[in-house]
Amino acid sequence: MTAHRRAPLRLSHFPLEITASIDVSFINDFLSPRPHGTIHHAIDIHAPEGTWIRSAVEGTVLNRWLSGSGRMSGVDYNADGGNIAAILDDEGYVHYYAHMLAPARVRPGQRVRGGQRIGQVSNTGLGGPKHLHYQVWPVGHGREDEIAALIFNFRFAAAVNPHAELCRLVAALGVTVARNGSVHARPTACGEGPAMESTWP
């Protein structure tokens, strides 16, 4: 049996609106350990509160979650990630945006274009400093309901590291990314780390 080869991750837009007046930074902290004993399967992009978050791809909204906990018809809550949106792109990758300032400006089933504003940076949930938690999973096609239901138990796919794609996009925007990932106003090289994938038990 021939194994299915998925297309490499390709982003059409950097997931934040970057200008010379906005202090944005990120490092390759994919698979870094966290103090509470977990592993970070994402890239954290630090920016001032209120910085616009954009969809990095064209796709369909799987779900959105609200910060906190409770019961309300048609609404899901997440205490850790705060205000969240998950978007499935046309290549079968889920793009997950967490810690938004307010509920995402999209709804499940909505079609979004690459670059569309979907929320703003903050630290809702257990966010710590103001940042966007940006995470990507390859999941394939035709499983939207299952993917939406399983998004928080991490059993349907291994996360992939979007760092190299983020570096490519900021370079195309004509901004600087230093070796530690800090973004500045003039172009230079981006210190890309290894293109790693997470592994699961």
Domains of the chain, earliest start first? 25-184 (2.70.70.10)
- Specify whether the CB–CB gap between 201 and 39 falls below 8 A: no
Per-residue pLDDT, 121: 96
Q: For the residues 36-44, what does the mean pLDDT come to?
A: 84
- Specify whether the CB–CB gap between 104 and 58 falls below 8 A: no
pLDDT at residue 40 is higher than 50: yes
Q: For the residues 74-103, what does the mean pLDDT come to?
A: 85
- Alpha-carbon distance of 170 to 102, in angstroms, equals 25
Q: What is the DSSP letter of 121?
A: B
- Alpha-carbon distance of 83 to 127, in angstroms, equals 10
Please classify residue 111 by burial: count the beta carbons closer than 10 Å to its beta carbon, then call 0-12 exposed, 13-18 middle and 19+ buried: exposed
Residues sharing a CB contact under 8 Å with residue 121, sequence separation 6 or more, in sequence order: 16, 47, 48, 49, 50, 51, 52, 53, 99, 100, 101, 130, 131, 132
CA dihedral of residues 46, 47, 53, 55 (deg, nearest 10): -40
Q: For the residues 175-191, what does the mean pLDDT come to?
A: 49
Per-residue pLDDT, 167: 86
- Maximum CA extent, the chain: 53
Q: For the residues 34-56, what does the mean pLDDT come to?
A: 89
Tell whether the torsion through CA atoms of 172, 195, 80 and 75 is positive or negative. Answer: positive
Query: Bigger pLDDT: 49 or 69?
Result: 49
Per-residue pLDDT, 27: 81
SS (H, E, C) 71-88: CECCEEEECCCCEEEEEE
- Specify whether the CB–CB gap between 24 and 14 falls below 8 A: no
Please choose, from the candidates 137, 95, 136, the residue with its C-alpha nearest in 3D space to the C-alpha of residue 115: 95
Q: What are the pLDDT digits (tens) for 143-163?
A: 666 666 565 554 456 789 999
Structure confidence at residue 186 as a pLDDT band (50, 70, 90): very low
